[in-house]
Amino acid sequence: MAEPLLRLEGIGKSFGPVTVLEGITLDIAQGEVLGVLGENGAGKSTLLKIISGIYTPSTGRILIDGQPFAALDPIGARRLGIAMIPQEFNLVASLKVYENVFLGQELRRGGFLDHARMREQTRKLLDSLEVHLDPNQTIERLSVAQKQMVEVARVLVNDARIVILDEPTTVLTSHETAVLFRVVKALVARGVTVLFISHKLKEVRELCDRLLILRDGQLVEHCAVAGMNEEAMARKMVGRELSRIFPDKPEAPVTRGTPALEVRGLCLTNVLHDIDFAVHRGEVLGLAGLVGAGRTEIAETLMGLRRRSAGEILVDGEPVAFTSPRQAHARGLAYLSEDRQGKGLQLSFNVMQNVTDLSLARYVRGLIRHGQERRRAEEYQARLSIKAAHLTAPVGLLSGGNQQKVYFAKLLDIEPEILLLDEPTRGIDISAKQQIYRLIRELTAQGKAVVVISSELEEIIGLADRTLVIRQGRVAATLEGDDINEECIMLYAAGAWEAGTEPATAHEPSQGARP
């Protein structure tokens, strides 16, 4: 029997008194794709960070080609052919795309950096990923999805033997995901081993050969994917039955009275063009479209993060002109950014400090009333099932899904009336998604208005009462009822249909489109 490429023996990891991994033992063969599943906080990312040398295991050892290591460091792991695409980006915002792609592995000529060759190779790598980016563009100007593909390009520069993908598709469209999967399959055909974390179980089933399922830091299943459906995977992850993921929609969307939020002729120079829509209290409005269509820019303009060049924004019928998020908060708007670490959370702050970051004034009476602040944070911890050793733990130590829940709590604590949620379930497991979806419906039942921007069509279909399809900075279509299906959304988003010119069969939903 062939020696496994990677063997883990009794791997454990503790942070102080908190054990997050315990006794993980398994063999991983060359040229296989291993899916790593588990709820948020199950230990998935911790395990892969140990393999990639970011964390040192508290117990156990790693064997690569039979050679034992008590621990690896990132440089040593890279030399052994281990490359990781992290869930949260590891890019230098001020550097250019090609500089990030070759960071730490620069090409030289005659002792000097060969910038021309690095730019050219970066362009070829991005072309292979069907990403049209200028290698000279700085990272800080890229969208989240573009940053994700730059991370992929960094891995392709290496002759990696083990590639770790931690939630790589959370911000990618279906087309971009398909391109990434083609790249992964080409790597596997060359004998590369891939470790794949994803909460999108359909993708796991499509890509993976075997599964490693973790629960509370322990290995509960190591099995073949063949013969398993998504429901079976979910049951093994959470250890219990899951009812349907999406709550029932109201029988009819609420469209009476003055809209909570109305947008008329909104323009943003070279980005948005004549955007019109309204969202009422008790309603979920979905914004769908391809990456770069302008969905995030709409939310950022509404919040005062971008200055509109034309148009009107009305809150409860009154015109507003926000120049900062603080002004938007004062009028009852809250925005959950798709970039939770860059724009949403203070990673060095603890859980309690993040929860009250925007609402701190209400806890101050001369001095900060820490007892009241702590009680409120405990309420959110229970309500959203936030897994943290204690409320004084830095948010940066939490799993991505639990960071997302803290971000939700931070917004809820300002008691908003209108919520703009950009990729609200990014990096969240199926059980936590169910909690977030129910929370959104609870908010609309309380009379809140919610706008959901999502690249997951299933999420738009399952949640939205009405959906705007955005294409090239314009509203391509407004969909309601059974018209909110995958076929209609994609045909409008890709420009195959235009409002008023779609075929007569346009409103016949595809079989199985609604979850």
pLDDT for position 17 = 75
Q: What is the CA radius of gyration of the chain?
A: 23
Q: Within 13 A of 8's CA, how many CA atoms are on the CB side?
A: 21
Any domain includes 439: yes
Interstrand relation of 218-224 and 367-368 (parallel, antiparallel or unpaired)? unpaired
Same structural domain, 233 and 320 = no
Residue 410 inside a domain? The answer is no
Q: Structural domain tally of the chain?
A: 2
Cα angle value 377/381/385 (rounded, 5°): 170
Q: Within a domain: residue 70?
A: yes
Give the 3-state secondary structure of residue 165: strand
Q: What angle do CA 96, 97, 101 make, to 5 degrees?
A: 120
* Residue 150 three-state SS: helix
The domain boundary, picked from 190, 207, 238, lies at 238
Cα 314 to Cα 495: distance, rounded to the nearest angstrom: 29
Nearest to 467 by CA among 164, 459, 347, 291: 459
Question: Do 423 and 311 reside in the same domain of the chain?
Answer: yes
Same domain assignment for residues 10 and 118: yes
β-pairing verdict for 33-37 and 193-197: parallel
Q: Which domain holds residue 153?
A: 6-238
- Cα→Cα distances 66→2, 7, 80, 164, 219, Å: 11, 8, 13, 20, 22
- Tell me: do 265 and 219 sit in the same domain: no
Whether 228 maps to a domain, the answer reads: yes
Considering the domain architecture, whether residues 225 and 290 belong to the same structural domain is answered as no
Q: Which residues contact 120 (CB under 8 A, 6 or more apart)?
A: none
CA angle 199, 173, 407 (to 5 degrees): 55
CATH of the domain at 459: 3.40.50.300
Residues 310 and 203 in one domain: no
Domain assignment of residue 363, yes or no: no
Give the pLDDT score at 508. Answer: 47
Domain-located, residue 372: no
pLDDT of 254: 64
Residues 211 and 321 in one domain: no
Q: Do 43 and 177 sit in the same domain of this protein?
A: yes
Residue type, 276: D
Instruction: Specify whether 318 is located in the same domain as 222.
Output: no
Q: In angstroms, what CA-CA distances link 330 with 283, 303, 324, 334, 415?
A: 21, 11, 10, 9, 10
Strand locations in 430-487 (E): 449-453, 466-471, 474-480
Do 177 and 314 lie in a common domain?
no
Q: Report the chain (515 residues): mean pLDDT per 10 consecutive residues.
A: 87 85 93 89 87 93 93 90 83 93 89 93 89 90 84 84 88 80 89 90 91 89 87 75 74 73 95 95 93 90 95 96 94 91 83 91 86 91 86 84 90 95 84 88 94 90 94 93 89 78 49 34
pTM: 0.67
Q: Are residues 37 and 130 in the same domain?
A: yes
The answer to whether position 265 is within a domain reads yes
Residue that finishes a domain, picked among 238, 272, 287: 238
Question: DSSP alpha helices (H): ranges in 143-260?
Answer: 144-157, 174-189, 201-207, 230-238
Sequence-distant (≥ 6) Cβ neighbours of residue 31 within 8 angstroms: 188, 189, 191, 192, 193
Sequential DSSP letters for 289-322 = --TTSSHHHHHHHHTTSS--SEEEEEETTEEE--
Answer yes or no: do 19 and 108 share one domain: yes
